[in-house]
Amino acid sequence: MNITWALLMMTLGSVGIQQDQHSANVTAALQAAAKNPAIIAQNSTNPGQNTTGGESVAASATPAPQTGGLNSAPLADPQPDAPKVKGIYVTAYSAGGARMEQLLNLIDSTELNSMVIDIKDDAGYITYKTDNPELQQMGEPKPFIGDINKLMERLKQHQVYPIARIVVFKDTVLAKKHPELSFVNPDGTIWKNKGGDSFVNPYNENVWKYNVDIAKEAVKLGFKEIQFDYVRFPEGFEKRADTLKYTKSDKARIDIIADFVKYAKAELNPLGVRVSVDIFGYAASVPAAEGIGQDFVKISKNVDVISPMVYPSHYTTGWFSVKDPDKDPYATIKGSMVDTHKKLDPLGSYKPVIRPWIQDFTASWLGSGHYVKYGKQQVEDQVRALKDQNVDEFLLWNANNRYTADVNYGK
């Protein structure tokens, strides 16, 4: 992976980006990484190696449930009559706390109809009390949502389409409890990124099964869709692939990630639940990120819904011919959707529903003159850009779950 793409990946993180994590150094990294989108595309043609290294520290590196080759026909959408989702992100703290009343009122009083709720969060905690002994043994349940069944009943009463967010391979909890499922430094310690987070190994079949088992329990609870996030290797993984110890196979990282998605879809499809995946917004505009194992098309082919994170604040000068993308949300979202359609149109009938994450927060870390305060106009501009590109679904991101009032989401 070239340094431009690596900086880009390190900067973006995932959909779970918290606003207070962005600072001057993030802005500098973005500016250095993405001043010229054409250069990024040119330099990213072959951004990483297809091999991994290190000694095995677990019994198997081959996913046990085989679901066919990558070229086999994807499974059909189990909910062809699902509503057109217009949703918001809801943390487990909000879902289990007083703010939920305010969020439900927002749903009741607007065109919004869905909530994406953390069921396994960015640290790796299962966010409710589970009686499943295998999940208890593998992970660590925390009752952030005090009564999950009561929550599901409330969602049903308010006619909320419920989506369970499961953070997959970024999982500090699982890495600490089961180092053999993670990446181990030469000195025997668990690898951590600069933020102190650990990842678990996408090559390991037990990690696959654990996350899909959580998803299956979410289905039993009443969730209609499973949204997988952090479906990737750690940022900059290609730089440490030959020094860390972890289970491995001879498959390329982009194929392992695509295989996980296909496995999850095969396991969950018979239950009538949709599968969606969050992916970098930039992924639609550049070649595959082989270092972290994300290929936009391969992942999209095997999901019902793809959710590119196209926050205008995460694009820098020059993208889509816009000087300050954060200040021109319409042009930025329009450009990202043009690229998304171009990338996915060749899939034909297997093209998934495109449901982007859009911005409902103010990116003050970009510095004076490079951002605007986001409110009604900016959110509506993004929705209008999506509609103009024949994208009828979207998800709003605000890390604190404080969403703009009086927005017309039907624009």
Q: Read off the pLDDT band of 116 (50, 70, 90).
A: very high
Instruction: Report which of residues 49 and 136 the model is more confident about.
Output: 136
Kind and range of the H or E element at 188? none
Mean pLDDT of 296-300: 97
Is the model more confident about 30 or about 191?
A: 191
Q: What is the pLDDT of residue 289?
A: 86
* Tokens 């992916």, located at residue: 279
Whether the predicted pLDDT of 360 surpasses 50: yes
How is residue 129 written in tokens?
Answer: 């009390």
Q: What is the pLDDT of residue 61?
A: 47
Split at pLDDT 50, 70, 90, the class of 66 is: very low
C-alpha gyration radius of the chain: 20
Q: Which segment of 22-31, 83-92, 283-292 scores lowest on mean pLDDT?
A: 22-31
Query: Under a CB-based contact definition with an 8 Å cutoff, are residues 181 and 217 in contact?
Result: no
- Percentage of the chain with pLDDT > 90? 78
pLDDT at 99 over 50: yes
Question: What confidence score (pLDDT) does residue 103 get?
Answer: 98
Beta-bridged to residue 42, according to DSSP, are none
In this predicted structure, what is the pLDDT of residue 342?
A: 97
Q: What is the pTM of this model?
A: 0.85
Which pLDDT value is given to residue 71?
54
Higher pLDDT, 57 or 146: 146
Q: What average pLDDT does the segment 60-75 reach?
A: 53
Alpha-carbon distance of 370 to 338, in angstroms, equals 24
Residues 112, 225: Cα–Cα separation, whole Å: 16
Q: Which of 291-308 are b and which e, b meaning 16 or more Cβ less than 10 Å from the residue's Cβ?
A: bbbbbbbbbbbbbbbbbb
Count of other CB atoms within 10 angstroms of residue 157: 9
Distance, CA of 288 to CA of 411 (rounded, Å): 33
The answer to whether residue 25 scores a pLDDT higher than 50 is no
pLDDT, average across residues 142-146: 97
pLDDT at residue 410 in the model: 86
Nearest one of 385, 220, 189, 397 to 311, comparing CA atoms: 397
Percent of the chain with pLDDT over 70: 82
Q: Using DSSP, state whether 409 is helix, strand or coil.
A: coil
Q: 45-54, 203-212, 281-290: which has the highest mean pLDDT?
A: 203-212
126 DSSP β-pair partners: 120, 141
The stretch 127-138 carries a mean pLDDT of 97
Of 62-76, 128-142, 279-293, 385-399, minimum mean pLDDT range: 62-76
* DSSP code, position 206: H
Q: How confident is the model at residue 161 (pLDDT cuts 50, 70, 90)?
A: very high
Contacts of 385 by beta carbon, 8 Å cutoff, 6+ apart: 329, 330, 331, 332, 333, 334, 337
Q: Hey, where are the domains in the chain?
A: 3-65+86-397
Amino acid symbol at 102: Q
Distance CA 348, CA 354 (A): 13
Higher pLDDT, 270 or 37: 270
Q: Mean per-residue pLDDT for 160-189?
A: 97
Average predicted confidence (pLDDT) for the chain: 86
Range in 58-62, 159-163, 178-182, 242-246 the model is least confident about: 58-62
Tens-digit pLDDT profile for residues 314-350: 998 999 999 999 999 999 999 999 999 999 999 999 9
411 pLDDT band, cuts 50/70/90, is low
Structure tokens at 278: 């969050």
Average pLDDT over residues 381-401: 98
Q: Which residues pair with 161 in a beta bridge?
A: 114
The predicted model gives 18-41 an average pLDDT of 36
Least trusted range by pLDDT, from 16-25, 45-54, 120-129, 337-346 = 45-54
- The amino acid sitting at 178 is H
Distance CA 354, CA 295 (A): 16
Fold type of domain 3-65+86-397? TIM Barrel (3.20.20)
